[in-house]
Amino acid sequence: MSAQGLELLSEHACFGGVQRFYRHPSREIGLPMRFSIYLPPQATQGTPCAAVLCLAGLTCTEETFMIKAGAQRYAAREGLILVAPDTSPRGANHPGEADDWDFGVGAGFYLDATQEPWSRHYRMESYVTRELLEIVTGDLQVDRERVGVMGHSMGGHGALVLALRHPGLFRSVSAFAPISAASQVPWGRKAFARYLGSDESMWANHDAAALLREQKTAPYPDGILVDQGMGDKFLQEQLRPELLEAACAAVGQPLTLRRHDRYDHGYYFISSFVEDHLRLHGRQLGGRA
């Protein structure tokens, strides 16, 4: 176990590099947290590498993206480290945590809750942007000056919102089927009411489309990539990519929004296009440098 309390749970040789799974005590969450990391060959040889945080969606864990996306092959080619945190605190056991959630127990939504009892442990924004990045920068060969973020569904929401709330932290951003305007759709409204309270004026601070409309200039001039399956059953009610598209157009933010016939919301969709996302991050982060 490292000085930061990192406990290596397992590791697996993968495309010339190594896939690892870790657990550690979290100062931000106040509970044990897990994350997974893929180190390409360059990183295993001691070279600091660009990294992409990979934020998974509702009902997922730190294992989901690494097991299902098929991303390691392309990360090895691009020289990118992949880091996937768990999506939510585990074991908080708050009253009502598992009640009336149609999308998984205590989904964290990559924000810091302000309402009790959630504010005690539901601090996923601080965990991802502070603690986790410190850990992987200090011990695991991540070049702190070259970090991007990507995500799927709730994680796509997280990637866009964290990139917009922390523009100096990330140099590239992409998403698969993101919740594009969380304050305007049922998933986000349920989470925000629980975590942030009833004052809806505060919700816009965690809504990608709303945050974009507040920008004075394009925050990511090299462009944002979003892929959306048109066979996605959540498209119209929960995801609303047209709202993200309109917000980007309003502030001149370059956006490549690709709409794919027949593809649904799952990992068959993600694995079909994840290579393009890692190429974009590799190019914008200088992954092979």
Active site residues: 153, 232, 265
* C-beta separation of 241 from 226 below 8 A: yes
* C-beta separation of 151 from 176 below 8 A: yes
* C-beta separation of 52 from 73 below 8 A: no
DSSP tag of 131: I
Helices (H) then strands (E): counts for the chain:
10, 9
- Interacting residues of 160 by C-beta distance below 8 A, sequence separation 6+: 151, 173, 175, 178, 180, 208, 211, 224, 244
Of 81, 152, 143, 145, which is closest to residue 110 (Cα–Cα)? 152
DSSP tag of 80: E
User: Would you state the structure tokens that stand for residue 101, as one six-digit string?
Assistant: 């959630």
Residue 5's φ and ψ, nearest 5 degrees, are 80, 15
**89 prior amide bond cis, ω within 30:** no
Looking at the chain, how many residues does it have? 289
d(CA 190, CA 79): 39
